[in-house]
Amino acid sequence: MASLDIGQKFGDYTLQKRLARGGMGEIWLAERKGMAGFSKQVVIKTILESYIDEPGLVQMFLDEGRIAANLTHPNIAQTFDLGQVGETYYIAMEYVHGQDLRNLLIMHYSLGQHIPLNLVLQIAAQTCEGLYYAHNWKTPEGLPAGIVHRDISPQNIIVTFDGTIKIVDFGIARAMSGASKTRSGVLK
């Protein structure tokens, strides 16, 4: 498998810019074009080539896509697609135009400022609303899914430029109804 590059066609998407590269994967800004001038920017999350032969990590990635695809809430970034191009697994998600809370905190700290209290309360309230929704989501059969995010951290809370809060990265989420189980003593 060749590495991904700017301008490359990736299934139905064209990669525009690499947004991040972590220990296990990459995140890309991409565009999907369609008929009559249709164009939609999305975020493509992939697993690095070095991990595609590790069934546990691939399953965790697929579980993330499966879990997040079921969640439709204004404070959770929408998941549109889960697939594979060649040997590369991917999740296509809503592009959230904003900054993660970590960068917002760093910016305010470097300026010697506090984040305004009304924004802090808005961030906390909307994050709680999204998590409450995920935790109480029921399967199509009406059973509690019991989704627990397990990685709510400042970099997984996006503050949009219009003031909406979006939770991202359900990568280590657990759903009681799914296959994603944690063994005792295992750190996720």
- What is the set of active-site residues? 151
The phi-psi region of residue 163 (left if phi > 0; otherwise alpha if psi is between -120 and 50; otherwise beta) is: left
Length reported for the chain: 188
Tokens of 40: 């939609």
Smallest CA-to-CA distance from 164 within 98, 66, 84 is with 98
- Whole-number Cα distances in Å, 98 to 4, 31, 66, 101, 173: 24, 18, 25, 9, 23
* Helical H segments across the chain, by residue range: 55-69, 101-110, 117-136
Taking the C-alpha atoms of residue 2 and residue 14, their distance in angstroms, rounded to an integer, is: 15
